[in-house]
Structure 1
Amino acid sequence: MLARACAILPTWFTGGVDQLAELRTLITRYAVGQRGHRRHLIDGVQISKLEGPSEPTAGLARPSVTVVASGIKRTLLNGVPYEYRAGQFLVTSLDLPVVGQALKASPDEPFAVVSLRIDPVEISPLLLEAPALPPQYAGLVVSDVTPELLDPVVRLLRIADRPDDVRVLAPGIRREILWRLLTGEQGALVRQIGLADGLLAHISEAIRWIRGHHNEPVRVADLADLAGMSTSTFHRHFRAATSMTPIQFQKQLRLQEARILLRTQSVTAAEVGYRIGYTSPAHFTREYHKAFGRTPGEDRTNFTSSVVAESL
């Protein structure tokens, strides 16, 4: 199985195959006994393991780096696919509404990843030491993992079940991981995440407002004022960073919130649509079907049936 996985790795990566195998072993060990496929190990560190392909699932991605130990996943951002597999990593620079799907996973070769939150406060102290690079703005980027980056990721998971080691050693290992990111292929983007007065920080401020007011009308001019930019400049930079206009971004958040409400509360589709800001039930149903491939009623029925089947 490992030989099959290695066949798709870059030829220069063969020196890191043992580390990749160990990473998959550690993820599998920590996932044993979990009802769900995700588990938070320590602050800011999460593992995921799936033994079969998954259905597309909507969610909010946070600033993070995700390293794939085995399997293949596709993440859609506003319909644009980002595919990443064993030996690669994904950097997410902002809070983004995405749809994720494990494409390749089996009991013998599961989809196994580890995700580490990227906190701008942790990056900032490293910026003076890191090389200055031209700004890069993107919501998601995929790169091949290097042995230099993979090594501290593996070491962090080795100590995840030893509290004293985590307390003493984890901060230094996390700093090493961030340094490898800053000095690697995606260093320009990671640098922007850490700049307190950088463009991504201003876009993040606007995103926080949209998330907190997703059921209210959005005026791009007001968001531009919040970000300290002209309307045209804000609109251009927001789209460059998120692949969406502010209005499209809000719509994605609204529809994700609607799906959560439909699956967790006993309310009608019309009530859900009204709660998230739609005044027309027909418009809400059309937008929901376009986003998820089902009407709100069909999605609720499908989810209820799945829950009943799992409980039998």
Structure 2
Amino acid sequence: MTDLLNAVRRYADAHANPLGMAQTPIPGLFLVRATARSELMHAVSRPMVCLVVQGSKQVTMGLQEFAFAAGDSLLITADVPIVSQITRASTAAPYYSLVLELDLAIIAALAVEMKAVLVGDDAPVRVDPTDAEVAEAALRLLRLLERPSSLPVLKDQLLREMHYWLLAGRHGSAIRRLGWPDGHVQRVARAVAVLRADYAQRIPVERLASAAGMSPSSFHQHFRAVTSLSPLQFQKQLRLIEARRLMLMEDMTASHAAFQVGYESVSQFTREYGRLYGAPPVRDIEQARSKARSAA
């Protein structure tokens, strides 16, 4: 873990943007760096694994809270709404983590080769100690970044290896469900893809059920079981999260952002925004910018 921390630190310190995100040339792989405790961050997460190598973080999904620190991995195996907060970070000892979005095609192929079987009904969010093999595979991926000429040759092979060790390790039973083409998680994921693409539009539930290959009543049941929300609630969170990004990052007014993400009423947008973020849009954005200035 010490070698992995040093590799994450080198790349993140050199490439992190003002929000602490360091994108890499490897698809789905990015690093996170923070030098102070963060505000609460709302997101609808994609399936991914997060390896914390320094500091600590807390994630809430519904009524469940997950705290994890250096040496732990957070696994998310469905598109679910989460609230996260970096809880331990400082200038002397920043928070560092490595995040990899899971590749469903790689998982499906490996599950067949490994003759994997489904066991139990795994929760979509879980925290466990990081397996040594996963940490070693992550370290080899990061070392590729220091030799760009090797990326085209070795990137795919090492991504496959990391997915293999995730499947073979303590996270395996939960990850296998992502590789089952006709499983409920995969079917709901197809409907989620429609919601992510057209979140600003009115989407009939029949269209979503059709994308999932289910009847409307069955779709509602399985969608809530996987994501913890109804399709309408899920779409609403996508809209509000994108509206906040537009106001914070692109300096858009609240009314402009509301219409941009599909709201027809600014007052309705303000009410629903306040319920999610705890303050109306203008005050919330002012507070976020003030915290950013203080941290800077």
Normalised to the residue count of structure 1, the TM-score between the two structures is 0.83
**Residue 13 of structure 2 corresponds to residue 32 of structure 1:** yes
User: What are the superposed Cα offsets for residues 143-192 of structure 1, whole Å, 9 maximum, x if unpaired?
Assistant: 22121222211222223211233333333322221111112222122112
Please, which runs of 5 or more residues in structure 2 have no aligned partner? none
Q: CA deviation at 1:137?
A: 5.3
- Match of 1:196, SS? coil
- Counterpart Cα distance in 1 of 2:103 and 2:3: 26
- Match of 2:146, SS? coil
Of 81, 88, 95, which residue of structure 2 is paired with 1:104? 88
- Which residue of the partner structure matches residue 47 of structure 1? 31
Of 37, 57, 64, which residue of structure 2 is paired with 1:73? 57
Verify the 8 A CA contact 2:47 2:79 in the aligned structure 1.
yes
> Which amino acid in structure 1 is aligned with residue 21 of structure 2?
R
User: What are the superposed Cα offsets for residues 95-132 of structure 1, whole Å, 9 maximum, x if unpaired?
Assistant: 44433210111233321111122111212221123231
Please identify, of 259-268 and 235-244, the stretch whose mean Cα deviation from structure 2 is larger.
259-268
- Specify whether residues 260 and 107 from structure 1 end up closer, same or farther in structure 2 by C-alpha distance, changes over 3 A only: closer
- Match of 1:128, SS? helix
Verify the 8 A CA contact 1:139 1:243 in the aligned structure 2.
no
- Match of 1:115, SS? strand
- Counterpart Cα distance in 2 of 1:309 and 1:102: 17
Q: CA deviation at 1:303?
A: 4.6
> Which amino acid in structure 2 is aligned with residue 54 of structure 1?
S
Please identify, of 104-113 and 248-257, the stretch whose mean Cα deviation from structure 2 is larger.
104-113
Of 177, 182, 195, which residue of structure 2 is paired with 1:192? 177
- Counterpart Cα distance in 2 of 1:301 and 1:178: 41
Of 145, 150, 154, which residue of structure 1 is paired with 2:139? 154
- Specify whether residues 75 and 232 from structure 1 end up closer, same or farther in structure 2 by C-alpha distance, changes over 3 A only: same
- Which residue of the partner structure matches residue 129 of structure 1? 113
Please, which runs of 5 or more residues in structure 1 have no aligned partner? 1-19
> Which amino acid in structure 2 is aligned with residue 194 of structure 1?
G
Matches within 5 A, 1:234-249: 234-249=219-234
- Counterpart Cα distance in 2 of 1:79 and 1:263: 28
- Counterpart Cα distance in 2 of 1:48 and 1:75: 15
- Which residue of the partner structure matches residue 45 of structure 2? 61
Of 69, 72, 97, which residue of structure 2 is paired with 1:88? 72
Matches within 5 A, 1:1-312: 20-33=1-14, 34-36=16-18, 37-44=20-27, 45-78=29-62, 80-130=64-114, 131-134=116-119, 136=121, 138-265=123-250, 267-303=252-288, 305=290
Q: CA deviation at 1:68?
A: 0.9
- Counterpart Cα distance in 2 of 1:303 and 1:111: 20
- Counterpart Cα distance in 2 of 1:276 and 1:247: 14
> Which amino acid in structure 2 is aligned with residue 39 of structure 1?
A
The number of aligned residues is 292
Q: CA deviation at 1:85?
A: 1.5
- Match of 2:145, SS? coil
* Alignment root-mean-square deviation, CA: 2.5
User: What are the superposed Cα offsets for residues 243-269 of structure 1, whole Å, 9 maximum, x if unpaired?
Assistant: 211111111111112112222456542
> Which amino acid in structure 1 is aligned with residue 108 of structure 2?
S
Please identify, of 70-79 and 150-159, the stretch whose mean Cα deviation from structure 2 is larger.
70-79
Verify the 8 A CA contact 1:120 1:196 in the aligned structure 2.
no
> Which amino acid in structure 2 is aligned with residue 294 of structure 1?
A
- Counterpart Cα distance in 2 of 1:75 and 1:310: 22
- Counterpart Cα distance in 2 of 1:310 and 1:163: 33
User: What are the superposed Cα offsets for residues 27-48 of structure 1, whole Å, 9 maximum, x if unpaired?
Assistant: 1111223443221233122111
Verify the 8 A CA contact 1:57 1:100 in the aligned structure 2.
yes
User: What are the superposed Cα offsets for residues 42-86 of structure 1, whole Å, 9 maximum, x if unpaired?
Assistant: 312211121221112233422221111121112233464332221
Give the percent of matched residue pairs that are identical in Structure 1 and Structure 2.
Answer: 32
